[in-house]
Amino acid sequence: MHIFNSLGSNYNFRFVWQALFSNDFKPHTDDLKLLLEKKYFGKATLVYKGREAIFLALKAAQLPADSYVAINGFTCYAVYEAVRAGLNVHYLDIAPKSLHFSAIELEKALQENPKIRAVIIQNTLGAPCDIEVIATVCKKNNLVLIEDLAHSVGAVHSGGQEAGSFGDFLALSFGRDKIIDAASGGALIIRSRKYQDYKMPKLHRVDQAQQLRDMFYPLLTWKVRAAYEIGLGKPLHFLFNKLGLLTRGLGPSLKDPHYLPNWYSALVSRQFASLNKNLDHRRKISAIYSQTIDQKLQFLNTYSNNTAFLRFPIVVDKRAKLIEYMKGKNIHISDIWYDAPVAPAKYLKLTNYDGKCLQAEKIAATILNLPTHINVPEETAKKIASEVNNWLAINTKNQITNSKLKIGEVDD
Ligand SMILES: Cc1ncc(COP(=O)(O)O)c(C=O)c1O
């Protein structure tokens, strides 16, 4: 079996079917709104993308136009885009052995830049950030706090509170490869009463062709993954992309946020119903990686059962070589979150990233993600972990041989 980080890997056959035949009844939307409002104690607006939720949160906060929003300096272009649609970005470097900025980094930034008026936290890959302290700094400095839960629905912070219990606003993504994955979708939850009366701008309709692409995404990606078993995966993937059948990551412009059509809501609600089972699985798979993979490649402070483990991160110097080796074992892990401080790396030049997040740059150059989704059974996780160790052993042996050759200067 070929295994992927992405390419529709969150879906099982039942989901493929549900996506194709989900109906467009309004009660689906009402039910999902109710579910979110009860879970997160706020006012919910359903949108087509997580980035639209961030954009609307910042609109509702009604900050002066010269405001800066502090974001993790190890993030997705979508977050950058959502802020830059109206305001300015201040990048916060990640803390050592972490994928997130610390409260200390935030306080330092506030000294440098008094125009920071909002902060977005993001619990990268599901690892909870130090929200209790960050929230205290926000309160002390009168900053708007947005919790971006794209990676971390169901994660629990060290104090025992679930992600989503602290922010003035929450932004959720139900996009591809997230914990709650309905091919696309997002939600803004306004928790702070102060902003709940904000009148949302008109939300636009997602065009029909885009909806069809999303509806067929689970089926087509399933076909592509299946075609890898007979050596035809790559050409079929290329063909589907060429014909414009597969949804593109960046999607429609942020200037016109969209409402979420009813049928996506039905899928999202079903995903919430199986959230705990899904998280248990991700944690079980991560525990296997954590216990098996050589400690030299593991860098997160601690392995914790509170993490949502959207993916399991390791770091490795010769990353491209390991990717190639794993590909030879039918394990496709070249899709990396994140390969740049604002990722993907090919979009970094479109941003105003200032080169100051040195820790993030170091991690971006070496991080690799291992899959934890439902299509990785425990046996496969063990195989993935031992292949990583095998590669490390081969690589270390080669390094020793090479360095001995250099010292002895004899090669015949
Ligand atoms: C941390 C984070 N927040 C938000 C988003 C945006 O999600 P969406 O694709 O639904 O706009 C992403 C995208 O992958 C992300 O990584």
Strand locations in 245-288, DSSP E? none
pLDDT tens per residue, range 273-317: 999 999 999 999 999 999 999 999 998 865 677 899 999 999 999
Ligand 1 neighbourhood includes 173 CB (under 6 angstroms): yes
Q: Tokens 């950030």 — which residue?
A: 129
Report the residue among 46, 51, 184 best suited for mutation to probe ligand 1: largest number of ligand atoms under 8 A from its CB.
Answer: 51
pLDDT tens per residue, range 140-170: 999 999 999 999 999 999 999 999 999 999 9
Ligand 1 neighbourhood includes 151 CB (under 6 angstroms): yes
| Strand partners of residue 167 | none
- Tell me the two tokens of residue 172: 């959720």
Ligand 1 neighbourhood includes 78 CB (under 6 angstroms): yes
Grade residue 247 by pLDDT with cuts at 50, 70 and 90: confident
Residue pair 48/29 in contact (Cβ under 8 Å)? The answer is no
Ligand 1 neighbourhood includes 186 CB (under 6 angstroms): yes
Residue of the CA atom closest to atom 8 of ligand 1: 50
Both ends of the chain: CA-CA distance in Å?
Answer: 42
Please give the single-letter amino acid code of residue 308: A
Report the residue among 6, 47, 54, 76 best suited for mutation to probe ligand 1: largest number of ligand atoms under 8 A from its CB.
Answer: 76
| Strand partners of residue 173 | 186
How many Å lie between the centroid of ligand 1 and the Cα of residue 333? 19
Q: Which stretches within 191-246 are classed as H helix? A: 208-228, 233-242
Ligand 1 neighbourhood includes 76 CB (under 6 angstroms): yes
Measured from the Cα of 148, ligand 1's closest atom is 3
Cα separation values, 64 from 48, 54, 60, 168, 308, Å: 26, 16, 12, 17, 35
Angle between helical axes of 262-273 and 208-228 (0-180°, round to 10): 40
Ligand 1 neighbourhood includes 100 CB (under 6 angstroms): no
Could you give the angle at the alpha carbon of 125 between the alpha carbons of 308 and 236, nearest 5°? 110
The two beta strands, 311-315 and 367-371, are: antiparallel
- Tell me the two tokens of residue 51: 């980035």
Q: How many CA atoms lie within 13 A of 73 on its CB side?
A: 25
**Nearest-angstrom CA–CA distance, 223 and 2:** 12
- Tell me the two tokens of residue 348: 């970094």
Ligand 1 neighbourhood includes 144 CB (under 6 angstroms): no
Q: How many CA atoms lie within 13 A of 12 on its CB side?
A: 10
**Nearest-angstrom CA–CA distance, 117 and 115:** 6
Q: Where is 299: in which H helix or E strand?
A: none
Helix, strand and coil in the chain, % to nearest 5: 45, 15, 40
**Nearest-angstrom CA–CA distance, 254 and 58:** 13
How many Å lie between the centroid of ligand 1 and the Cα of residue 214? 16
Ligand 1 neighbourhood includes 49 CB (under 6 angstroms): yes
What three-state secondary structure class fits 141? coil
**Nearest-angstrom CA–CA distance, 188 and 349:** 29
> Is the pLDDT at 342 greater than 60, yes or no?
yes
Ligand 1 neighbourhood includes 148 CB (under 6 angstroms): yes
> Is the pLDDT at 410 greater than 60, yes or no?
no
How many Å lie between the centroid of ligand 1 and the Cα of residue 267? 18
Ligand 1 neighbourhood includes 36 CB (under 6 angstroms): no
How many Å lie between the centroid of ligand 1 and the Cα of residue 82? 10
pLDDT tens per residue, range 93-130: 999 999 999 999 999 999 999 999 999 999 999 999 99
Please give the backbone phi and psi of residue 197, each rounded to the nearest 5 degrees, phi first. Answer: -90, 0
pLDDT of residue 400: 74
How many Å lie between the centroid of ligand 1 and the Cα of residue 166? 19
pLDDT tens per residue, range 353-399: 999 999 999 999 999 999 999 999 999 999 999 999 999 999 988 87
**Nearest-angstrom CA–CA distance, 352 and 360:** 15
**Nearest-angstrom CA–CA distance, 332 and 323:** 7
Contacts for 163-167 with beta carbons within 8 Å, 24 or more apart?
Answer: 163/123, 163/128, 163/131, 163/308, 164/39, 164/40, 164/189, 166/131, 166/132, 166/135, 167/121, 167/191
Measured from the Cα of 184, ligand 1's closest atom is 10
> Is the pLDDT at 407 greater than 80, yes or no?
no
Measured from the Cα of 174, ligand 1's closest atom is 10
Ligand 1 neighbourhood includes 50 CB (under 6 angstroms): yes
pLDDT tens per residue, range 201-224: 999 999 999 999 999 999 999 999
| Strand partners of residue 13 | none
How many Å lie between the centroid of ligand 1 and the Cα of residue 84? 15
The two beta strands, 186-190 and 43-47, are: antiparallel
